[in-house]
Amino acid sequence: MPVAPYDLVDLGEPQGSHSLSRGRHARPRRPILYIVTLTIVGLLGIVLVAGRFGLWGVRALSVESGSMEPAIRRYSVVLTIPVDTPAIGSVITYEHPLDPEILITHRVVGYEGEGDDLRLVTKGDANNAPDGEPVRREAVVGQVRMVIPWLGLIVDIARSEIGFIVLIIIPATIIVHNEILRLRDLLAERRREKKGRISGRNG
């Protein structure tokens, strides 16, 4: 059962008191579970948008294979940023040469050619040999700047229809509902305070 996050607690009450105060010095308090849920829903939303469309050039992509273990484990999420010419030793995400919809995250281990014909030789850390075909610079989606372990597992679930409803739609609806109730109570409290001041002056 969700806990309403809009109860106002008087900080001047003695410890152990459970009475509620609607006074001027009361502060709204949100339960930790509510804050954690809000954080997770927000993070998942950002990752899904950044994975699909990108945010200011940043892409958030889930890793579905173990070719980069142990540096990047399966089900991690990598954050990439655009880069012109990745340095040797850096980890990049690039489009598969036969299917641009497939993205691969491997390490740059060398160069071939130069100038406009420069290509990147890549290799998965867990693989025994470099990838079969060097990568064109225009096929590079970005260079990996951050790795978040295990988040990819949750993201993969959220991408399904049922997972999106359970992990995004339902929690977001509860959060919005509670915020509306909280705002309603705060506005009602201000109206009561205003009426109290007016009554005090008239008295």
Angle between helices 151-159 and 32-52 (to 10 degrees): 70
Q: How far is CA 62 from CA 67, 130, 142, 174, 189, in A?
A: 13, 22, 14, 27, 46
DSSP conformation letters of 101-133: TSEEEEEEEEEES-GGG-EEEEE-TTSSS--SS
Two structure tokens written together for 112: 């071939």
Supply the pLDDT for residue 25: 44
| Per-residue buried b or exposed e for 22-57, using 16+ beta carbons within 10 Å of the residue's own CB | eeeebeeebeeebeebbeebebbeebbebbeebeee
DSSP 193: H
Supply the pLDDT for residue 194: 79
Supply the pLDDT for residue 1: 39
Supply the pLDDT for residue 30: 64
Per-residue pLDDT tens digits of the chain, which is 203 residues long:
343 333 333 333 444 434 344 444 444 556 676 676 667 676 666 666 655 655 567 787 888 889 999 999 988 888 898 888 899 999 999 999 889 888 899 999 999 998 888 999 999 999 999 998 999 999 999 999 989 888 777 767 666 777 677 667 777 787 787 788 888 888 888 888 877 777 666 65
Supply the pLDDT for residue 137: 92
Supply the pLDDT for residue 51: 56
**Cα 99 from chain centre:** 27
